[in-house]
Amino acid sequence: MPIALYPGTFDPITFGHIDIAVRATKFFTRVIAVIAENPDKRHLFPANERFVMVKEAFRGVPKIEVIRYPGLIVDCLREHNASVLIRGLRALSDFDYEFQMAFTNRTMLAGAETVFLMPSAKYVYLNSTMVKEIARLGGDVGPFVPECVRKRLRKKFSAGLRR
């Protein structure tokens, strides 16, 4: 079985992300969650903090490794001797972007494949933007994120940060 990369910003990681990664371990020798580092994007959490949260979220899941990567995902595939990218598809609206990315990556690296997994039904609606908005407005994000993320969101927004 090949090695797969599961790239994302994970800002923050949600139970939907975790669901996809854990289910992917059934099909791959190892799944590497890749924390994307894009200095042009405005993230709520810096890459080092996202890395810590994702590591905590996958603690105890033996086939999942977590790394940070600042470059092109096809270069990360090469460096880790991986051939597959895992991407989650929640709705038809995700498909167009993901389709473009899959073909772009395959053009840049022959043999690179993208495998799309649908989240479990209870996570179809869930995304990081929604979680951040709930937290910003003082709502309970416990049903959507691991405890380590819930605590960091509470701390971030109780400090008066309102984005």
User: Any idea what the CATH number is for the domain that residue 41 is in?
Assistant: 3.40.50.620
- Any domain includes 24: yes
User: With contact defined as beta carbons under 8 Å apart, do 28 and 2 qualify?
Assistant: yes
- Any domain includes 162: no
| Cα–Cα distance measured from residue 163 to residue 160, given in angstroms and rounded to the nearest whole number | 10
The verdict on whether 151 is a catalytic residue reads: no
- Any domain includes 58: yes
Using the predicted structure, report yes or no on whether residue 160 has a pLDDT greater than 70.
Answer: no
Q: Report in angstroms the alpha-carbon separations of 18 from 47, 74, 92, 135.
A: 18, 22, 21, 19
Name the active-site residue from 30, 55, 80, 90: 90
- Any domain includes 22: yes
The full 3-state SS of 85-138, as one line of letters, equals EEEECCCHHHHHHHHHHHHHHHHHCCCCEEEEECCCHHHCCCCHHHHHHHHHCC
- Any domain includes 63: yes
pLDDT of residue 62: 93
Burial class (CB in 10 A: 0-12, 13-18, 19+), 158: exposed
Domain count, the chain: 1
Name the active-site residue from 50, 87, 128, 132: 128
Q: What is the mean pLDDT of residues 123-151?
A: 94
- Any domain includes 11: yes
74 pLDDT band (50/70/90 cuts)?
very high
The verdict on whether 43 is a catalytic residue reads: no
- Any domain includes 64: yes
Residue 151 tokens, joined: 């605590």
Using the predicted structure, report yes or no on whether residue 143 has a pLDDT greater than 50.
Answer: yes
Model confidence pLDDT, tens digit, residues 117-136: 999 999 988 899 999 999 99
Domain that holds residue 51: 3-121
Model confidence pLDDT, tens digit, residues 30-68: 999 999 887 778 899 999 999 999 999 999 999 999 999
The verdict on whether 162 is a catalytic residue reads: no
The verdict on whether 17 is a catalytic residue reads: yes
- Any domain includes 35: yes
Please state the separation of Cα 132 from the chain's center in Å. Answer: 15
